Structures are given as C-alpha cells and as structure tokens.
Structure 1
C-alpha cells in the first residue's frame, strides 16, 4: 500500500470518528458508536466492510493521543506479493452483478463460494470490488423516496458552519483586458446566528478559493464542530478532509440533489441577490467597480452595515447580536493552522536524489533515491517543501532551480488581502462603505495607549 492510499484511509477513518470528538461522556458516545457500527462502508481502496464499536473506540483513542498520523494503516508484510483472482471468478461475479445490479460485493462473494468457484476466505471484497468497478458494473443505487422536512437550528454558535458558492453578477477582469466575467461568492455561514463568518467574491470556483474563505473564517472565529457543505468536487477533496482532520472538526455533506439542508445559506444568497447585487451592477455601469478588489470592498461594507445589522425574520434578532453570545472559541495556533492548510503532492526521487515539482528542481536526502515520497507545502510558497516517506519526516527539500514560486493552481490574486482604494462617485454602496471607514477611524481614535517604565509603572 503506497503512502497516498494510506493517507486516504487515514482520512476515511477520521470521518468515521469525527462525530464522536465532541461527545466526551461515554453515555453520549454510545448511540453514535452503535449507529456507526451498523452501517456498511466502502473504503478508498474499494473494500466494503463494517467497523465494530471496539475498532471505532480504538481509532478515537489513537487520534486523541497522536492526531491524524495515528490513523494511518500499518504497512502489510506481504504488500509486494501478488494476489491474483482467477479470470473465471471475475467473469462469474460480473454476470451475477448484471443479473441483479443491487447485489452487494459481500453477497457476490458468498454466492461464488457457494458455487464452489473459490474456497471460503479466498476472495477479498476489496479486490472483487475493484474488478467490478473496472468492468463498469458498480452496484445500482436504490430510488429515493419522497420525504418530509423539519426545520433545524444548531444549539450553539460555531457548532455548525454552512459553506457554498453562488454565481452572481458580471464585472470587468483587468487581467483579461477588461472582459466581463462572472463573479462567484464563496460564503461561510454560522448556522445558529446566520452570521457570515467570512465571504468574498472570486472569479474561480476552486479549492484555493474555498480554502481562503475557510482559513479566514477560522482565523477570526476558531474552528466549528461541523463544516456542512454539498457534494461538489472541491468539497470532496482529500485536501479539505486533511484540513478537518488536523484541526479536529467534522465535514458533513448534504445528500446529492437534496439541497434543503443548506436552506439558511440559500436564503442569504437570495437576500444578497436582491439587496446587494442591483447596487453593485449600478456601480459596474458607472465604473466605480472595475475589478474584484472594488467589488469585495463594497461587499464587505454591505455585509457589516446591512446584513449583520438587519433583524433576521426567524431569529427576531440581528445576526451580530446572536454571534456575540458565543461560548469559548476553539482558536488555533497560527503554526498549526499553516501546517493544516499545506498541500500534499507525491513525487519519485531520481538517481541524483532530486525531485521535480511544477518545473522546479529540489534536492532531497540520498537515502530516498528511487522512493516515491510525499511532499507537503504552502501553495503560495514553493521555496519550502517538507519531505515525508512511510510516515517519517526527512529534511526539507533544497531548491536547486526555482522557476515557480506559487502552485500553478493558484494566482497572486488569490493571495491578495489588501483593500483597494475606492474610486470617487456617488452610490448607496459607496455611502455605507464611507460610513464603515469612518466608524473604524473613530474606534481607533478612542483607543488609548499607555507607556510603561522598566519598573512597570504607568507614565
């Protein structure tokens, strides 16, 4: 089993125990353990199996002791030995699956053993499942039934965050000679207060944009207990799962084609489209919004002065007032936060103890020659890359030829955080933006600074 598969299995195991991390008393854990143990899961390697309560408790204890690295599976002693499944067994399994697409891999194994095609225990479910996927005969999913919905709200602030992306207005893109492009709003909403922990507009709907929003929200508010999102590709990424595992929160996905669970965020998007978008389109026509920086500055002012201060129709309170009632925040050490958001990449070390990453050449320890190593790095800084092999960290890779300083999947615009200067003009958004800036200056003016002597006396 290679390092990448071991990493995926570790993240899968974390997903099993994530709901248990916030339940300290054993009495609260027991129902979750029982429900988890009754379900059948498909592992990243294709194996279909169940997990006993004892196994789940062991995963939980290991994670609490040594973190995500403790969930990595140990290397098999026979990992380089071939395990061959006869072609006759594969063909019969395919025929049985085609006969009844709802048959599970476990049922197929029992049927093949009953027919005498293989001795008991010879067929591994993961191996058979991989052959069935390759043949294009995966198990059919049952039809969904009609169901009713009930309203749900988190019990505490920062218990559940919802995240989604909404296509909005078209604005000029200076990087494309002023061509009009769709701006997409990435938003993170607190379920209890309806407060927007962080949101910004981007031209891209990709992992860097999602990570930027999540990281900014965590810096300001700490980590949630649950991060709730849909099943889009960026929310299913192993990178996001690893961030959650290293920072200790759970990722939950809404069921495909059932967006009702994200209704609170959808309502925010609807209000934004009715309230902010018309004013922003007017600014685009007047030329006061000429790029993403302008749009995000106006949006930030609108969010703070309008949405957060508006009495919510369901809560009967302002989101900012509910947010102030939060308990202790689960703040994250900056060093831990940076490590958690590192990206992972695998590369093979050549005979000269060098690796190549996106056109850059690095030198690693000679002992790693011929091995496929895991690399961890900040996508905005390719000058420093950590080197890992079989769960052990080696000396950082030494740059020999550095042609790129950032990952090709991100741009400098993704990393930019400076607020731009607003162009002159008259509009509703400019008015509230000016008010917001004035309030900031007044707060700073009321702040007093005290100088102390070496003995600690105030002067």
Structure 2
C-alpha cells in the first residue's frame, strides 16, 4: 500500500482518477476471483482490454493503470519546424487571417520548398496552440496587451484614512450660473479607499486646478459641522492621476508639511482608481437622472439645431443643486450598503474606532492649502505682487530682504509675510482691500527703523574702537591678542 501511495503522488490528478476507475474493474478479477469473461460482460470492457489492464496492474500496480501519454505528443507529424514557424508567423501578421487563408498561403509555398502540404486540421491546431497573450500583442498592440495580460499592482487600503483618492468630473446636468446662463458644473471628490466614504467634495464652474483640489482637501481634512458626516483627518497617502492640478508644486509643499505621501498613477493608465469612477456613475444614476436639467452624454451633440437651444436651459441654481447633492450624499450614499459589503460607507469608516490624525488648526490648513507660498524681495515701495503693491509699516525693517509670502488665490487683498519662518505682518493692497496705510504711519516706521540701525552702528563702532586701542601700541606695532595684552599689563602693574 505504501508503494501505491508513493507512486500515485507522481501521477497527474486526471490520470489518477482514471486509474482508480480501471482499478474498480480489475479488482473484482484480481482480489475477488471473478472470472474475466463475466467481469468483461458486467463492466462493458472488452475482454482483451481487461486482460491488458490486469497484466499492467500486476506489473506496476495503480501506476500501470494510468493512461500513458503518446510519445509524439506535442509534435506535428510530417511537418518541419520551419513550416510550423511560417504558419505561426502568418497567424500573427496583420490583418488577421482565417485558418483557411493561412492554409492556402502555406500550400502555395510547398511546391517551391519541397515541404509536405499541411492539412486544414494541422494548420488549425498550430494556430490555436499559439499563446493568446502573443496573439493579442501582435494583433491588437501594446495597449490591449497591457490591459489584459500585464501583472497589476492594485493599491488596497487596509484601514480608513490610509489612502484617499481624488478626481474631477464634468457633471452631465445643466445648472444656472450667476448670470442665468446654463452651464455644466465640475465636481471634485476625495474618497476614502477603504470605506468608499466621501471625505470632501466641491462643486464649481472652474475647470480642475490646484486651488480647487486644495479647497476640497481643506474640507476633507477638517471636522464637518453636520453630525452625519464624520469623515475627516489627514490621510497617509493621497493617490491621484498625473493631472497638473494634482502634480503642482503647491500640492507637493502641502504633502511635505502635513506628512502626507503623494502617489500618482502611471501617465495615461490610471489603474486602481475604479472606485472613484464608480462613485461618479452612482451620482449620475442615483441622483442626476432624477433631477431637472439632466443631460446624458449621448443625448447632447456638440451643436444643436436652430431652435433647440431652449432644451439646454437649466432649472436649478448651483446652490440649489449643491443642497440636493449634499442631502443625497449624507442621507443616501453614505448609508447605502454596496454589493459585497455589510455596512454603508460611513459605518465602515467608523467601525475600527480609530482617532484620525488631525491638523493643528483650521488656520494651519488655510496657510498650507488655501494660501500659496511664494518668495519676494521687499522693495522701498513695499512688496510687488501680481501688479499690485502691498504695504505695512512693519515692512520698513525688511527693505532689501527676501521674505516668504502666503496668499489666497481667491482673495488677493492681503498677503501674510514671513521672514525666516517667523510671521512678520499682514501686508494689504489699498486698491483691493479698501484699507490704506497713512503717510504718518510710514514716516513713523521709517524713523523707528533708522533709530534701530543707528543704535546698532554705534554699538559696533564702540566695540571696534575698544579693540583697536587694545591691539595697537604707541609705536604702531601690532600687539598680542587683547586678553593676553591685558594680562601683561596687569603683571607689569604688580611689579
């Protein structure tokens, strides 16, 4: 028995099952003494075949009952290797050829090469034996091969806030803007990869940009006022595509300051981001289809026929639409149990009971996300930026120095000025802010700065005179260091 087990381990599974079926037929004759003719009639196995099985079983046991592979398996009889290569080459060439066409073309080559003409069946077997990955690469190109056969590394978060994803979508719905014109709004979304809960969103008329992403991140990270929306914190990884709105220097600075790793999908191949694409489909199917102004892509050509312009008129304003979207997100989507899940996105985000990593304050978020950092040199007329002049009395102490300014791209009325990572002042633009800096304040600041500089000059001049007097003797020769000279004078005085 031990021999049978050790031998069976070397038999393929399909052959092992067939060997057991043959053994059930053979066992009655070998072990129970049933006559071979009787067992042949009962089992339906020809007598000669039964006798051969019994002989193989007595010689090699169960291994002898396994079907032996053909010695010429994997080879094509009467076909040369060169002919097989030609058939395979024709099957891989563009445009795609049928098996009959390949067989006719090869047959035309037989006369000149002295080959044996292949049959249709042989050509068919050669073509079908080609690896499908090889055929796809040859016939459909690298993109189709990449999508179908390349090994993928799909990023999967193990816990909430481990990875967030972000993307933009031009929504298929017409909404009225401030001037009453119908437009399609952009939706920017940040989604938690683990729970699929939405951490933040932003509806805007503006095309995707770094500032839109920053404003959405600000909402996503900070605590929400609505008790139904608990998703917040700083993610470990922020995963996006290679759009300029995500790969900006501003966002890189934010990631470094918040200790948030930025990961970008491969250019042109945003794999692993199907979850957020699925959310956009959910928005269209579960919300937009129920609202007036819904405009699926296939229903609207680039240009409408004359007289059909009214079909594109929006009904809701952007604020009305945002209220509908917010109610749907918090009341429906975040509580909807998705396929393959047991809880809704909001519950899945909360189920681990973790404490999210939070920013120090909302002001810190504004500095990092909303207010962009730039370097500027303080001029005598203040700080020049975007064609405007920014003033503050405190800047009089920093004329000629290079400072770091932070500003809100949506409000250029003031700049926050930093020098060597220390906050200096808020410089205002009188044209944009309505605030003015009086001449009296400027003069007072200049005088204070001048007095400070003169005090420093006097101190340094006094120090230089003191050391010069100690270092120079009456004969004009240079003495030893001041400390040693003073020590020598004290010794001479004691003598």
TM-score under structure 1 length normalisation = 0.51
Residues 396 and 357 of structure 1: is their aligned pair in 2 closer, same or farther, counting only changes over 3 Å? farther
2:219 maps to what in 1? Answer: 216
Matches of 2:332 and 2:429, distance apart in 1: 52
CA spacing shift, 1:374–1:207, aligned 2, 3 Å: same
Tell me the distance in 1 between the aligned counterparts of 2:387 and 2:426.
14
1:320 counterpart residue number: 346
Alpha-carbon distance between aligned partners in 1 of 2:423 and 2:348, rounded to the nearest angstrom: 47
2:356 pairs with 1:329: yes
Aligned to 1:199: 201
Q: How does 1:160-171 map to 2 (within 5 A)?
A: 160-171=163-174
Q: Is the 8 A contact 2:337 2:345 kept in 1?
A: yes
Cα root mean square deviation, aligned: 2.9
Report the counterpart of residue 281 of structure 1 in structure 2: 292
* Alpha-carbon distance in 1 for matches of 2:389, 2:381: 15
Separation in 1 of the partners of 2:281 and 2:423? 50
Whole-Å separation in 1 of the counterparts to 2:282 and 2:383: 53
Larger strand proportion of the pair: 1
- Change beyond 3 A, Cα 1:231–1:178: same
Q: Secondary structure at the match of 1:234?
A: coil
Please tell me whether residue 297 in structure 1 is matched to residue 300 in structure 2.
no
Corresponding position of 1:255 = 266
Within a 5 Å distance, the mapping from 1:335-374 to structure 2 comes to 335-341=363-369, 342-363=371-392, 365-374=395-404
SS in structure 2 at match of 1:214: helix
Unaligned 5+ runs, structure 1: 1-142, 406-459
- Looking at structure 1, the residues matched to 293 and 182 of structure 2 have their Cα atoms a distance apart, in angstroms, of 15
CA contact (8 A) 1:387 1:394 kept: yes
Relative contact order (alpha carbons < 8 A, sep ≥ 6): 1 or 2 greater?
Answer: 1
Q: Summarize the alignment of residues 122-141 of structure 1 with structure 2, pairs less than 5 Å apart.
A: none
Structure 1 residue 162, shift from structure 2 partner = 0.5
Once residues 265 and 155 of structure 2 are traced to their aligned partners in structure 1, the CA distance between those partners, rounded to angstroms, is 14
C-alpha separation between the residues in 1 aligned to 2:219 and 2:414? Answer: 22
Aligned residue in 1 for 2:182: 180
* CA distances 1:211-270 after superposition (whole Å, capped 9, x unpaired): 121111100311111111111111011111112221221111111111122111011112
SS of 1:233's partner is coil
Q: How far does the alpha carbon of each residue in 1:186-206 deviate from its partner, in whole angstroms, 9 at most, with x for none?
A: 111110011111223211122
Per-residue Cα deviation, 1:395-426 (whole angstroms, up to 9, x for no partner):
22543624258xxxxxxxxxxxxxxxxxxxxx
* Aligned pairs (5 A) from 1:264-275: 264-275=275-286
Partner of residue 238, structure 2: 227
Give the superposition deviation at 1:279. Answer: 1.4
Q: Is the 8 A contact 2:335 2:345 kept in 1?
A: yes
Any conservation in 1 of the 2:160–2:349 contact (CA below 8 Å)?
Answer: yes
Q: Alpha carbons of 1:152 and 1:244: their partners in 2 closer, same or farther (altered >3 Å)?
A: closer
Secondary structure of residue in 2 paired with 1:259: coil
Q: Could you say what secondary structure the match of 1:260 adopts?
A: coil
Q: Does the 8 Å contact 2:173/2:294 carry over to 1?
A: no
Q: Partner of 2:192 in structure 1?
A: 190
Give 5+ residue unaligned stretches, structure 2. 1-141, 224-231, 296-310, 435-495
Is the partner of 1:251 in helix, strand or coil? Answer: strand
2:184 match: secondary structure: strand
In the alignment, the residues of structure 1 paired with residue 433 and residue 193 of structure 2 have an alpha-carbon distance, to the nearest angstrom, of: 40
* Comparing 320-329 and 357-366, the one that deviates more: 357-366
Distance 1:152 1:370 in 2: 49
| Alpha carbons of structure 1 residues 171 and 373: separation in structure 2 relative to 1, 3 Å | same
> After superposition, where does 1:410-425 map in structure 2 within 5 Å?
none
| TM-score, normalised relative to structure 2 | 0.48
| Residue in structure 1 matched with residue 133 of structure 2 by the alignment | none
Write the mapping of 1:114-153 to structure 2, written as runs, cut at 5 A: 146=146, 147-149=150-152, 152-153=155-156
Q: What secondary structure sits across from 2:324 in the alignment?
A: helix
* Range moving further from structure 2, 295-304 or 305-314: 305-314
